[in-house]
Structure 1
Amino acid sequence: MSGSAEAAALAAPPDEVELEAELAELLAALYTKHDGLSERIDQLAARAAAAGNDRYVVLAELTRADMFNRTHRAAEGARIGQRLLESADDPVVAARAHAVISGALWRLGATGESAKHAEQAMALLGEGDPLCVRAEHAVVFAIQVNGYRLGRNPIEWFQSAQRLTEELGSPGLIIANLNNWAWVQYERGELADAIELVERMRQTAERTGLQLNASCVDTLARILLESGDAEQARSVIVGALEGFAAETDSDAIPGCLLTLAEIQRRNDEVDAAIGTLTSCREIAVRSRTAEMGARALRELATCYASVGDYRSAYEHMEAFHREWTQLRSQQAEASASVVQAVFGIEEARRRSREFQRLAERDPLTGLWNRRKSDEHLGELLATPAATRGPVSVAILDLDHFKQVNDRFSHSVGDQVLCAVAQIFREMAGPEGHAVRLGGEEFLLILPMADPAAREHCERVRRAVEAHDWSTLCPGLTVTTSVGVSEIGPGDDYSALLRRADQHLYRAKAYGRNRVISDADGAAR
Structure 2
Amino acid sequence: MTTEAIAPAGPAMAPADGEVARLAAAVSELEGRPVSALRTLTEPATEIMRRAEELGEADLVQRCRLLVICVMMREGQIEDGGRQAHQILAWAQQQGSSYLLARAHREVSLFYRLVGDVSSAHTHALQGLSCLPEDAELGIRARHLLTLAIALDENGHSADGDRRFAESLDIAMALADGELIAQVLNNMAYTAFERDDEPLALQYCRQMREVAAEQDFPLSAGQLDTIARVEMMSGDYDRAAVTLAPVLEPGSRVAGNEGDALATCLLTMAETLRLGHRYAEAQVALDAGAAMAEERNLRLIRAQAREGQAALYADTGRYREAYEEHRVFYAEATALHSAQREARAHALQAAYDATEARRVSEELRELAHRDALTGLYNRRYVDERLPALLAEAATRRTPISLAIVDLDHFKRINDTLSHNTGDTVLRQIGQLLAEAAIGRTIAARLGGEEFLLIFPDADAREAQLRCEELRLKVRGHDWSAVTHGLPVTTSIGVTTATDGPHAVSDLLERADQHLYTAKRGGRDRVVGA
CA offsets 1:183-228 (integer angstroms, 9 cap, x no match): 0111012222212211221122122111101110110111122145
Q: 1:445 Cα shift?
A: 4.0
Structure 2: how far apart are the matches of 1:441 and 1:132? 50
Moved more, 61-70 or 94-103: 94-103
Provide the residue aligned with 1:459 in structure 2: 469
> Is the CA contact 1:78–1:101 (under 8 Å) kept in the aligned structure 2?
yes
Q: Which residue of 2 aligns with 1:302?
A: 311
Task: Give the structure with higher Rg (CA).
Answer: 1
8 A Cα contact 2:238 2:276, kept in partner: no
**Which of 186-195 and 438-447 deviates more?**
438-447
- Residue 266 of structure 1 pairs with residue 275 of structure 2: yes
1:145/1:151 contact within 8 Å kept: yes
CA shift for structure 1 position 182? 0.9
Paired residues for 1:118-137 under 5 Å? 118=125, 121-122=128-129, 124-129=131-136, 134-137=141-144
CA distance in 2, matches of 1:473, 1:195: 77
In the TM superposition, 1:88-127 aligns within 5 A as 89=95, 90=97, 92-93=99-100, 95-97=102-104, 99-100=106-107, 102-103=109-110, 106-107=113-114, 118=125, 121-122=128-129, 124-127=131-134
Distance 2:461 2:288 in 1: 84
Q: CA deviation at 1:430?
A: 3.5
Query: How far apart are 1:235 and its partner, in Å?
Result: 0.9
CA contact (8 A) 1:165 1:173 kept: yes
Paired residue for 1:393? 403
| Separation of aligned partners in 2, 1:453 and 1:64 | 46
- Structure 2 residue runs of 5 or longer lacking an equivalent are 1-17
Q: Deviations for 1:252-308, whole angstroms, at most 9, x for unmatched residues? A: 222222222332232233454344333322221112221122122223333344455
Q: Residue type matched to 2:362 in 1?
A: R
Shift, 1:81, TM fit: 4.2
- Residue identity matched to 2:506: D
- Cα distance in 2 for residues equivalent to 1:386 and 1:244: 48
TM value normalised by structure 2:
0.77
Which among 169, 190, 200 is matched to residue 197 of structure 2?
A: 190
- Pair 1:499 & 2:513 matched: yes
Secondary structure in 2 aligned to 1:365?
A: coil
In the TM superposition, 1:66-85 aligns within 5 A as 66-74=70-78, 77-78=81-82, 81=85
**Structure 1 residues 353 and 132: CA distance shift in structure 2, 3 A:** farther
Amino acid of the residue matched to residue 220 of structure 1?
Answer: I
1:56-90, Cα deviation, whole Å (9 max, x unpaired): 45434433333333345545645664675676655
**Deviation for aligned residue 1:16:** 7.0
Kindly tell me: are residues 278 and 207 of structure 1, through their superposed partners in 2, closer, same or farther at Cα, counting changes over 3 Å? same
Look up the SS of the partner of 1:492 in the other structure: helix
The sequence identity of aligned pairs, in percent, is 29
Instruction: Provide the residue aligned with 2:230 in structure 1.
Output: 223
Question: Displacement of 1:406 after TM fit?
Answer: 7.1
Distance 1:444 1:364 in 2: 17
2:29 matched to 1:22? yes
Of stretches 294-303 and 491-500 in structure 1, the one that deviates more from structure 2 is 491-500
Deviations 1:503-523 (A, max 9, x none): 35435xx4x5x216367xxxx
- Size of the alignment, in residue pairs? 500
For residues 156-205 of structure 1, what are the alpha-carbon distances to aligned partners after superposition, in whole Å with 9 as ceiling and x for unaligned?
33234334544665432321121112101110122222122112211221
Moved more, 263-272 or 343-352: 263-272
Q: Which one of 280, 290, 295 corresponds to residue 299 of structure 2?
A: 290
SS at match of 1:391: strand
> Residues 395 and 65 (structure 1 numbering): CA distance in 2 closer, same or farther, change over 3 Å?
closer
Which stretches in structure 1 are left out of the alignment for 5+ residues?
1-10, 520-524
Q: 1:351 aligns with which of 354, 357, 360?
A: 360
Give, in whole Å, the separation in 2 of the partners of 1:452 and 1:143. Answer: 46
Q: Do 1:221 and 1:234's aligned partners in 2 also have CA atoms closer than 8 Å?
A: yes
- CA change 1:437–1:69 in 2 (3 A) is closer
Which residue of 248, 273, 293 maps to 2:257? 248
Partner of 1:332: 341
Q: Which residue of 1 aligns with 2:10?
A: none
Contact 1:260 1:273 (8 Å CA) reproduced: yes
Aligned position for 2:184: 177
Distance 1:38 1:443, change over 3 A: closer
Residues 442-488 of structure 1, C-alpha deviations (whole Å, 9 max, x = no match): 33345767787656544332222333557x67976753131425369
SS in 1 for 2:453: strand
- TM-score, normalization by structure 1: 0.78
